[in-house]
Chains A and B, each alone.
Chain A
Amino acid sequence: MNDIPFNDHRPSPEAMLKLANAEEADTGQGKLKLFLGYAPGVGKTYTMLEAAHQLQREGRDVVAAYVESHGRSETDALLVGLEVLPKAAIEYQGVRLPELNIDAALARKPQIALVDELAHTNVPGARHEKRWQDIEELLAAGIDVYTTVNVQHFESLNDVVAQITGVTVRETVPDRLLDLAAEIRLVDIPPEDLLQRLREGKVYIPEQAARATEQFFRPGNLIALRELSLRRAASRVDEEMRAYMEMQSITGPWPVSERLLVCASGSPFSEKLIRTTRRLAEELKAQWFTIYIETPSVGRQQQENRERIWRDLRLAESLGAEVATLTATSVAEAIIEYAMRHNVTRIVVGKPAKPRWRDFFLPPIVDQLIRLSGTIQIHVVSINGVAAKPGGQKYHPGRVIPWFDYLASLGLVAAATVLAFLVRPLLSPTNMVMIYLLAVVMAAARLGLKPAVLTAAAGVLAFDFFFVSPQGSFTVDDTEYVFTFLGLFIVGVVISTLVAKARERADAMRERELQTESLYYLSRDLATAANMESIMTAVIKNINATLNAELSILIPQGEQMKISAISAGLKLSDKELAVADWAFRNRREAGMGTETLSSAELLYLPLATSVSVLGVLGIKLEKAADYHSPHSRRLLGAFVTQISLAMERVYLAQQAEQAQVLQARETLERALLNSISHDLRTPLVSIMGALSSLRDKDLHISGTQGKELLNGAWEEAERLNRYVGNLLDMTRLEAGEMKVQKEPCDVQDLIGCALSALEQKLGARDINVRMAEDMPLVNMDMVLMNQVLINLLDNGLKYSPSGSPLEIRAKIHGRKLLIEVLDRGPGIPKHDLKRVFDKFYRLPVPEGVGGTGLGLSICKGIVEAHGGAIRAENRSGGGLCITILLPL
């Protein structure tokens, strides 16, 4: 066996940079190694297992996740000594079939996993449709994967191989896996040796393929396939060489990078065209695009082709194309516009079938493209000889009984004939044609193109039969009437076409308009949504209405996906939740209509932004076909983007808010600590100082001295007591323990209590109480409001000069009780007027005044707990006015 190892280096400098970066910081993505062969039996699995043993000897952690020996003893022997993971058994049609146990492999998480047969199609019910998808998941989990594949399984070579061998290989693998492979190891034996092995029965052939075997294993085929695989592998060497030259800055005739464009049309030839473009792109090392142009005028046709267009686009995507769907009135213009915008250098088009009469009026798209292309090259590819594939039958959705339309069109002709009879005395036969034309127009407008054409034809016949002599027969006396018939028919058909087109365009426009509208409504609702709940409500409401779909939004909570919102009546089983979970973790769509876990009832789309996945949208569309319709897909895509953005916005806002709250709390805690250490210690200093002086007999404190010390200590003790009281109040207020118990209270009593509590401090201060007569009892918590007044008066006393009066005013103002406490102190700097109610805010205090910085914030807390408001203002003439407003 000849092994040709190839090292992977992508040619472009960006990729080199990427590689360099990858070496610096491992991205966590596993590496793929392909064992590439040209036919079954060349010894891929054998070579892979040998390599595995080599790795194991080197001390690497290798696990055989799935290896199929097909009972070949030499392969079985090589499995000995390797850790083999248990296979999953999936029941399908009563038989339990072995599959790769991907969860076991993920859980085991070896350095390297061996997974045989890259191109294998999984049993329905497995997580993914294809094994290569399983492998991609393993790679994403950071596990290196060794796998085997034959060259004919690659998408782009599929039809070439079919041409060479006459055998169509159904199991295909996207070409990007070839590019993804970090290393390709070509497993090659001469065809004669392979045929020898086949004769010896050493090659496993699946039973269902037995018939094709004979055809496949012909020396000519094998030589061609071998060449293909060698060339495929050699192109990698070429790339490596080019990359090396680029790296070493070796100048050469490097072409400017090419960009190719191909247009999918849903025709049976599209697939061939796409594969051809892919090959061309490969050769040119070009980026390529596949677009589909949706035109309003072909609304109906497009509906018929939907399924196939979707398949074409998916094929192109899997072959590595950038895919887009556009809407335009002119296909050619749209293609050229897109090409210009994306700097496309070549456009690939199919050679049109035999020219048709219609081309005279409407030149084929190829001609239009060539006329418009400018510097863009147009490649016309022959598509003759490719038979239309089955499955292209046209169907007529929406119209359940089309024959009814034809019946109606005949009815119209009958009605026109009756009308013509009635007006026969007034009109010449030539003008009766107008009545039939009217019927054609009505048919076109109401029934569509084909019934309208039938109306035209039937109209000609009826006109001939009833009104052109000889009447009652289809023969014509005057040959001039033949022109009338021809004219009637042609005008009828043209009118029908135009009217039908206009109608379809209007239908398409209406549909588009509806979609735009629904998108607009959704984004409008989402833009105003301030929290998750309102986002959920908006999504459920809008998508339900637009797509007539049932849906659910799932958001991760801890390790599990939790339903955050769900349409009424929809239930999600554990299995559905698991699919949603998969879509979330792998950031890829899954479920109904996809290739992953397609047995699910819903389609799951990850709600992802550039940064993170926020959740999953699960959706159950009305019809199964809708899952593939570009319309609903595009709309869903737009919805998902909108939802993700809205959710991200809310998340970010929440985070910012949390950060702010945290910061505020931190500041507060620091202030609290500072305050406690300062305000608790300072009074203790004087108290302990005074007491220790008195206690110390050696100090000989005189009577007056002692009294002064004691007075000082007493005042400080009082201050300490007040401070602790405030701290307690604050704590109760914040813990929600301070409950407001409202009772009808006498405002005068309230003021009196506050004054009597401060009696000693007030001393000889002038207190002016101004109260309206006949104040009603006001509902409040007297104890708490008393506290407020005491704090305010206390502040007033502290901050104003000792000779200045304090004022208290109370009155009813509107439906509120208004209490003002005024002093003649220094007031508060304007910018601090609001901050005075903040915790631990303190004015730069005059000498000897020590506040706790809590008094006013307690007041604010209490007043607001009453549903009232408190504010501070500077008085004209100096001083501060604190105003309290309480609801009556």
Chain B
Amino acid sequence: MPIDPHLPRLLIVDDEPAIQRFLKTALDNGEFTLFQAETGRAALSAAVSVKPNVILLDLGLPDMDGIEIVSRIRQWSQVPIIILSVRDRESDKIKALDAGADDYLTKPFGLGELLARIRVMLRRSLQQVPEPVFRIDELEVDLARRLVLLQGEEVALTPTEYDLLRMLITHAGKVLTHRQLLKQIWGANYLEQPHILRVNISNLRHKLEKDASRPGYIVTETGVGYRFKGQY
């Protein structure tokens, strides 16, 4: 495979030949350079040698648990990791995300969805310095001036609400678990009090969303956490 040094590098880690074959065919569209690994060990060494821009990781590998791989990689690299797994239970997702994975897709999934997630990750990893002003649809957040505008009008947020929004925006597209949010914004003592998070999210939605019942910006990942809908 000719390696174009300008193309983003994708490392696909899965032990199922059928999945490998499908992903290789689907993603080999000229946008990415693909690398493949079938075991945890191979994945770890490829992560070092290839220096991928995004890793697609299956949790059920023959020699090593996927979550173990995530934590090992996180010891030295912030490379975006998207988990692809048949494990659909929320506890599995939370474990992986808390270990440092950036996103989680349950098999089976649509290719469109996977490509969108990969692009969000690539944007984050390629864009080293975040822009001070974040814009999406009618929402504008000026991170430098702590200003939130909806349809050009300023929205009054409490300091906590603002912190919450800022954290979601700076990780736009990425799932943040309840734990991560609670720890970051309220501190480790609040880990067991998810209701304060829910109340603040609810308030934020009422202030920002057109229809709080069908939120367009802050999406709930049921049982896992929240994600700010990024621009794909």
CA distance A488 to B127 in the complex (A): 132
Contact pattern, B 212-223, Cβ under 8 Å of A = 1, otherwise 0: 111100011011
**Given A755-B214, A771-B213, does the pair A749, B90 have CB atoms closer than 8 Å?**
no
Shortest CB-to-CB span from A735 to chain B, Å, is: 14
**Given A717-B108, A743-B194, A782-B222, does the pair A752, B201 have CB atoms closer than 8 Å?**
no
Shortest CB-to-CB span from B141 to chain A, Å, is: 21
Query: Is A659 an interface position by the 8 A CB rule?
Result: no
Query: Is A748 an interface position by the 8 A CB rule?
Result: yes
Query: Is A786 an interface position by the 8 A CB rule?
Result: yes
CA distance A755 to B219 in the complex (A): 11
B201–A746 contact, CB under 8 A? yes
Contact pattern, B 188-217, Cβ under 8 Å of A = 1, otherwise 0: 000000110011011001000001111100
B198–A745 contact, CB under 8 A? yes
B213–A744 contact, CB under 8 A? no
Shortest CB-to-CB span from A787 to chain B, Å, is: 9
B220–A752 contact, CB under 8 A? yes
B residues in contact with A725, CB < 8 Å: 88
B223–A721 contact, CB under 8 A? no
A residues in contact with B220, CB < 8 Å: 749, 752-753, 756
A residues in contact with B194, CB < 8 Å: 743-744
A783–B214 contact, CB under 8 A? no
Query: From B213, which residue of chain A is reached at the shortest CB distance?
Result: A769
A783–B90 contact, CB under 8 A? yes
A756–B198 contact, CB under 8 A? no
B residues in contact with A786, CB < 8 Å: 222-223
B223–A752 contact, CB under 8 A? no
A residues in contact with B195, CB < 8 Å: 743-744, 777
A752–B198 contact, CB under 8 A? no
Contact pattern, A 730-774, Cβ under 8 Å of B = 1, otherwise 0: 000000000000011110110111011100000000010101000
A residues in contact with B199, CB < 8 Å: 746, 777
CA distance A851 to B147 in the complex (A): 49
CA distance A887 to B215 in the complex (A): 27
A749–B223 contact, CB under 8 A? no
Shortest CB-to-CB span from B87 to chain A, Å, is: 11
Query: From A737, which residue of chain B is reached at the shortest CB distance?
Result: B89
Shortest CB-to-CB span from A714 to chain B, Å, is: 8
B residues in contact with A743, CB < 8 Å: 194-195
Q: Which residues of A in the span 693-737 have a Cβ within 8 Å of any Cβ on B? A: 717, 721, 725
CA distance A751 to B195 in the complex (A): 17
Shortest CB-to-CB span from A707 to chain B, Å, is: 15
Contact pattern, B 168-192, Cβ under 8 Å of A = 1, otherwise 0: 0000000000000000000000000
**Given A717-B108, A786-B222, does the pair A752, B215 have CB atoms closer than 8 Å?**
yes
Shortest CB-to-CB span from B95 to chain A, Å, is: 15
**Given A743-B195, A755-B213, does the pair A748, B108 have CB atoms closer than 8 Å?**
no
Shortest CB-to-CB span from B190 to chain A, Å, is: 14
Contact pattern, B 69-95, Cβ under 8 Å of A = 1, otherwise 0: 000000000000000000010100000
**Given A744-B195, A782-B223, does the pair A749, B201 have CB atoms closer than 8 Å?**
yes
- Residue of A743, A751, A752 with most chain B CB atoms under a 10 A cut-off: A752
Query: From A755, which residue of chain B is reached at the shortest CB distance?
Result: B214
A746–B108 contact, CB under 8 A? no
B108–A756 contact, CB under 8 A? no
**Given A777-B199, A783-B90, does the pair A748, B213 have CB atoms closer than 8 Å?**
yes
Shortest CB-to-CB span from A442 to chain B, Å, is: 83
Contact pattern, B 46-77, Cβ under 8 Å of A = 1, otherwise 0: 00000000000000000000000000000000
CA distance A90 to B219 in the complex (A): 88
Shortest CB-to-CB span from B120 to chain A, Å, is: 17
Shortest CB-to-CB span from A751 to chain B, Å, is: 5
Shortest CB-to-CB span from B71 to chain A, Å, is: 24
Contact of A749 among B88, B108, B202 (CB under 8 A): B202
CA distance A668 to B199 in the complex (A): 43
CA distance A746 to B194 in the complex (A): 11
B215–A756 contact, CB under 8 A? yes
A residues in contact with B205, CB < 8 Å: 748-749
CA distance A756 to B220 in the complex (A): 9
Shortest CB-to-CB span from A660 to chain B, Å, is: 34
A residues in contact with B212, CB < 8 Å: 748, 752
Shortest CB-to-CB span from A146 to chain B, Å, is: 76
**Given A717-B108, A753-B220, does the pair A746, B213 have CB atoms closer than 8 Å?**
no
A residues in contact with B223, CB < 8 Å: 782-783, 786
Shortest CB-to-CB span from A748 to chain B, Å, is: 6
A residues in contact with B201, CB < 8 Å: 746, 749
Query: From B110, which residue of chain A is reached at the shortest CB distance?
Result: A714
CA distance A387 to B223 in the complex (A): 98
CA distance A242 to B201 in the complex (A): 104
B residues in contact with A748, CB < 8 Å: 202, 205, 212-213
B residues in contact with A783, CB < 8 Å: 90, 222-223
CA distance A678 to B21 in the complex (A): 30
CA distance A538 to B90 in the complex (A): 50
A residues in contact with B90, CB < 8 Å: 783
Shortest CB-to-CB span from A750 to chain B, Å, is: 9
CA distance A771 to B211 in the complex (A): 12
B222–A751 contact, CB under 8 A? no
Contact pattern, A 199-230, Cβ under 8 Å of B = 1, otherwise 0: 00000000000000000000000000000000
Contact of A746 among B88, B198, B211, B219 (CB under 8 A): B198
Query: From A771, which residue of chain B is reached at the shortest CB distance?
Result: B213
A751–B108 contact, CB under 8 A? no
CA distance A783 to B205 in the complex (A): 20
Q: Pull 6 A–B residue pairs with CB atoms less than 8 Å apart, ordered by A.
A: A746-B201, A749-B201, A756-B220, A757-B222, A767-B214, A786-B223
Binding site for A on B (CB under 8 A): 88, 90, 108, 194-195, 198-199, 201-202, 205, 211-215, 219-220, 222-223
18 more CB-based (< 8 A) A-B contacts, given A749-B202, A756-B219, A783-B223? A725-B88, A744-B195, A746-B201, A746-B202, A748-B212, A749-B198, A752-B214, A752-B220, A755-B214, A756-B215, A767-B214, A769-B213, A769-B214, A771-B213, A777-B198, A782-B222, A783-B90, A783-B222
Q: Which are the 4 A-B pairs with shortest beta-carbon distances? A: A783-B223, A744-B195, A769-B213, A786-B222
Binding site for B on A (CB under 8 A): 717, 721, 725, 743-746, 748-749, 751-753, 755-757, 767, 769, 771, 777, 782-783, 786
